[in-house]
Amino acid sequence: MDPYKSDRCPCCQSKKLTSFKDVQQFHYSRCLGCGTISIDPNYLNQIDDGLNLVKYGRDYWDFQSSLSRERASGIALSRMAEAFHYARIPIYKFIDIGTGPGYFLDAVAKLLPNHADVFWAIEKFPPPQEYRTKSPHYIIGDLKDLSFKVDGGICIEVLEHLTPRMLSNLFEGMAYISNPGALYEFNTGLPQHVINEMPGYLEPLKNGHIVSYSLKAIELLANPHGFSVFPLEGKTWAFVVEYQSKWSKFEDVQSRIWFALEHNLNILDDKDMGSVLKMLGFETARAYSSYGWRRLGRAILPILLRRIK
């Protein structure tokens, strides 16, 4: 990939850029072509060359460790449980990509102790050892270092830290480890979320958030590596990709919760801890989707019409 140009969108190469905001001394622009919001491309080039805007000292890890535990026991479990409902292939290995300290593995081990062997996590740039999980399923390295294939995964609050070149490389690595049909759910602030719900999301020095990718930009970067991209209705902070998908990109992925595979649901239903994660995945998927209401409407409408007649 050529260096990013200051007058073009780093994702779609459009020249239709508009000023979005300044954060400290860093300027962010929004592309009117694909919708992506990005830090100045000159910084993207420097970050690709090794620049770290965030200072990774003890203060940073003390702060992030607390946030990581919160995410691991909250949104990571929610996105994981949803992914198990959406997947159209049986999941035998599931991975948390860019897991940071790996606390997701600890949370899963508590709630799904009889299925903990299904779950793995990988981090390319791990924190100091004192901040990491002690799980044997925590892997340090690149996706291409894995010796096994996976059937699904999550990637929680990672994309906003990556340049487009890094994100393309991430999808390349995911393709390398994916079985056909593997499904992944991402949690990241999309432009609608940044504009309408969380204007302070993009912050480069403390949080390292440099890009808010639109789904159109995600498609441009993911499609060449064999991934189809699916929006999640009502969620401006999450989306799904599926490797070598057999389904139309216009499919309502959230409707899959009504036909989830029994194998996958059984993993979420632990014999000792119960069905809390199975219920969590179903309810959080349904809460933001209008599919359930549309389905109910199709059932009730004929009855109403008969009464009117």
pLDDT at site 282: 96
Residue 31 placed within a domain: no
- The gap from C-alpha 258 to its chain's centroid, in whole angstroms, comes to 22
pLDDT at site 67: 87
Residue 107 placed within a domain: yes
Residue 258 placed within a domain: yes
- The gap from C-alpha 6 to its chain's centroid, in whole angstroms, comes to 28
- What value does the mean pLDDT of the chain take? 92
Q: In what order do the strands lie in the sheet with 211-212?
A: 17-23, 26-31, 37-39, 211-212
Residue 82 placed within a domain: yes
What average pLDDT score do residues 85-106 get?
97
What average pLDDT score do residues 9-23 get?
97
DSSP H or E run through 266: helix 262-268
DSSP H or E run through 77: helix 75-86
Residue 187 placed within a domain: yes
Residue 33 placed within a domain: no
Above pLDDT 70, what percent of the chain?
93
Please determine, for residue 279, whether its predicted confidence score (pLDDT) is greater than 90.
yes
More confident residue, 220 or 297: 220
Residue 136 placed within a domain: yes
What average pLDDT score do residues 19-38 get?
97
The residues facing 139 across adjacent strands are 122
pLDDT at site 1: 66
Q: Are 86 and 151 in contact (CB under 8 A)?
A: no
Tell me the pTM.
0.92
- What φ, ψ does residue 181 adopt, rounded to 5°? 90, -5
Domain interval for residue 280? 52-287
Dihedral angle sign, alpha carbons of residues 145, 174, 12, 18: negative
Domain of 97, CATH number, reads 3.40.50.150
What average pLDDT score do residues 278-298 get?
73
Q: Are 18 and 29 in contact (CB under 8 A)?
A: yes
- pLDDT band for position 290 (cuts 50, 70, 90): low
Please determine, for residue 296, whether its predicted confidence score (pLDDT) is greater than 50.
no
Query: pLDDT per residue over 45-77, tens digit each?
Result: 999 999 999 988 888 888 888 889 999 999 999
Query: pLDDT per residue over 146-179, tens digit each?
Result: 999 999 999 999 999 999 999 999 999 999 999 9
Above pLDDT 90, what percent of the chain?
86
Provide the number of structural domains found in the chain: 1
Residue 293 placed within a domain: no
